[in-house]
Amino acid sequence: MIIYKVFYKNYELKKGELMGQLIERRKDLRGKGPLESGLRWAKFTFGKMVKDKHAIFVVPDGLHLVRWPERRVLTG
């Protein structure tokens, strides 16, 4: 099961606004990657709510785009 957060690009405020979440229960993504499959479902589900369907984007829940290494101080 994959959970996607669906955002809409707000060009006036220059940020993404959270529209909702989608839950994809199937394991077979039919030959597509998880982002492409989630984006297709998001445009189909939330496309009627916005003027521009191309302004919709998804982020899988739990995806860390930037992961900083932990700093550890060794004392001895």
Domain positions in the chain are 2-60
* pLDDT at residue number 41: 87
Looking at this protein, which amino acid is placed at residue 36? E
| pLDDT of amino acid 66 | 55
pLDDT digits (tens, 9 = 90+) for 7-39: 999 888 888 888 998 888 777 767 777 788 888
Q: Which residues contact 9 (CB under 8 A, 6 or more apart)?
A: 16, 55, 56, 57
Q: What is the pTM of this model?
A: 0.68
The DSSP call for residue 65 is: S
Residue 20: CB atoms within 10 A of its CB come to 13
CB 55 within 8 A of CB 8: yes
Q: Where are the alpha helices (DSSP H) in the chain?
A: 34-46
